[in-house]
Amino acid sequence: MRKPMTRRSAALWAAVALCLGTGTGTGTQSLSYAATGRPGTRLPAAARPSSARTAAPPAPTARTPSSWLTPFTPTVPDPSTATAEELAAGAAAAGFPSGPITDPLGQAGQPISRTDVIARAQTWVTEGVPYSKSVKHTDSGGTYRTDCSGYISMAWNLPSSAADNWGETTWTLPDFATRLDGLDELRAGDMIDKTDQHVVLFKKWANAAHAAAVVLELAHSGTHARQSTYSRSFLIENNFLPFRYDKIMDSPPPPPAPHGAV
């Protein structure tokens, strides 16, 4: 004969159900990205507009075996396309010190090879990192905003912090680069920037005629980091301009000389 459930055992089973996410409480939404690392991620409930009548729980951090997605509050209305002046005003209002963003560990902002730029960008494509202007992604490569300009900042290994909303913008990225004379000069790791709207990372030409560019990008809400193809005519008609990162190298730096070598 089954014994009736006591108050203590009922409370225990309720706690187990809550931990397993099988209850009907107000816990966080499921995160397929944290569980699988594949596209189809839903951002944490606290990062989306909520229709719940009760207060939302603290914003959780989505974690994969090697990376984290964390919501943050931008200092400007649009951290993807803000100008330098807007960023400075937003940082001052938020209480951040003025001046250029630097990496206290000295790892970001160093010369980088084209191979490493593409490899860094490819990690987000492989992970299926979702687009957001108010979420930052953290892994061994640093912490960066998960939108188009944050993606280029990550690929180029630029310094980032909360003061610049974890990455440069479509307007400020050219400050770290030199404009090329034409699209035909593009090489892997360069960027193609429409400063008031969107920026992509050039990977290669789709054909010998340079009629279409293969790029890596975080395009817009509802998409993930991906490889895309832009026709040459589209780039020209929409005023996308080619730029080359000032610290990019055509080959990896040579290994340091052995101690005592001359």
| Residue 97 domain-assigned (yes or no) | yes
Confidence of residue 66 (pLDDT cuts 50, 70, 90): low
Which CATH number characterizes residue 105's domain? 3.90.1720
For the chain, the domain total comes to 1
**Contact call for residues 215 and 227 (beta carbons, < 8 A):** yes
Round the average pLDDT of the chain to a whole number and report it. Answer: 79
- Residue span of the structural domain in which 205 resides: 62-249
Contact 149, 167 (CB under 8 A): yes
Alpha-carbon gap, residue 73 to 29, rounded angstroms: 20
pLDDT at 104: 60
Quote the pLDDT of residue 165: 97
**Do the domain assignments include residue 53?**
no
Q: How would residue 97 be classed by pLDDT, with cut points 50, 70 and 90?
A: confident
Exposed / middle / buried, residue 211 (Cβ in 10 Å: 0-12, 13-18, 19+): exposed
Comparing C-alpha atoms, which of 171, 162, 230 is closest to residue 201? 230
> How far from chain centre, in Å, is Cα 33?
14
Q: Tally Cβ neighbours within 10 Å of residue 119.
A: 14
pLDDT value of residue 107 = 79
Mean of pLDDT values over 98-108:
69
What tokens were used for 234? 């589209």
* Within-domain flag for 73: yes
Whether residue 39 lies inside any domain: the answer is: no
Instruction: Provide the β-strand partners of residue 63.
Output: 68
Quickly tell me which residue has 């610290």 as its tokens.
Answer: 247
Give yes or no for residue 10 having a pLDDT over 80: no
Residue 209 lies in a domain: yes
Q: Is pLDDT of 143 > 60?
A: yes
pLDDT at 54 over 70: no
Over residues 159-215, the pLDDT tens digits come to 999 999 999 999 999 999 999 999 999 999 999 999 999 999 999 999 999 999 999
Strands (E), 91-247: 112-113, 135-139, 142-145, 177-179, 191-194, 198-205, 212-217, 226-231, 241-245
55 occurs within a structural domain:
no
Retrieve residue 102's tokens. Answer: 């630097």
In a domain, 144, yes or no: yes
Mean pLDDT, residues 40-69 taken together = 44
Domain membership of residue 236 (yes or no) is yes
